[in-house]
Amino acid sequence: MAEDVKTGNPVWETIKTIVYALLIAGVFRTLFFQPFWIPSGSMKQTLLIGDFLFVNKMAYGYSYASCPSLIIPSVGLNVDAEDVCGWMKGDNSRIWGGEPERGDVIVFRHPVTGRDYIKRLIGLPGDRIQVRDGQLILNGTPVPQKPDGVFTEVAAPQGPQRLRPRCENGPVGIGAVCEKSRYVETLPNGVSYDVLNIGNQGSDNTGIYTVPEGHYFFMGDNRDNSSDSRLPQSAGGVGYVPYENLIGRADRIMFSSAGRSMLFFWTWRGDRFFKAVN
C-alpha cells in the first residue's frame, strides 16, 4: 500500500522559503560581502559609473555600519543600518577590527547623512594632508605623480542619474570625446593608482588637514569631481570619517554596465568582468 505524503499549504511554504532566503541573504550581506553599484564618477578611472562590485566586510571587522540598510523610496521603505544596529554605535570601535591600509578603496557611511560612499583612503590618524597646485602633500612630503597620458570617454549622459562627465577639454558637445589628464600617484607604502585632472579649482589648493585619532581622510581618484574629506561636513563634504563608519574594502569588480541599468546586459563592458580594484 502506498504511503500517504503530507503536503503543507503551498502559499505558506512559498512564504517560508522567501523568508528563509531573505534571512540567509541578510546574514551573508551583514557578515561577509555587500553589493555596491557605482553611481557617480568620483573614482574614475579606477571605478566607472555602472561598475558592480562586492565589498569585503571581513577586511576591517564589524561595527554598527556593517548592518545593511534597505532603502527603496518608490515603496516608502527606509530601514537604516543605525535603526537595526544603532546600539553598537558611539565608542568608535569594531568587533574583530582590522586596520585599513593607506591606498585601500573603501566603502563607508557618511558621518552625517548615513549614505554609503566609496573613496580611496589617503590619510591615517595623525597624518597631515594638504593639496597644493593639484599635488597631494603627505606629512610635508609631496606624493610623486607621473604623467600617464589622457583618459578619454564619450561626452554623454551616464548611468541611471544620466550624469554628464566634466572634461578638461570641455565643454564639448554630446557624443564628442571628453578628455582628462591622467597621472600615476604613488603613496609612501608603494600603492600606485591613476588620478585624473580636469582643471584648476579651489580643491587643488587647500589648508593643512590633521587627521584626528580614530578617523580617516578620503579622496576620490577623479580629484576635481569628488566630494570628499577636503570639504568639511558643515559645507556638505565628507570631512574626517570615524573608524566605526567603515563598511568594507572594494577588492574586485564583478561586472560593469555602461547603460542606465545593470539589467541591460547588452551594455555590459566586456573588459571589466572580475577586474581587480587597484
- Asked if 218 and 106 count as a contact pair (C-beta separation under 8 A), the reply is yes
* Residue 232 preceded by cis peptide, ω within 30: no
Instruction: Give the active site residue among 40, 42, 66, 226.
Output: 42
Instruction: Give the active site residue among 44, 63, 66, 119.
Output: 119
Would you call 42 a catalytic residue per the annotation? yes
Bridge-based pairing of strands 145-154 and 177-186 is antiparallel
Would you call 257 a catalytic residue per the annotation? no
Active-site residues, by number, are: 42, 119
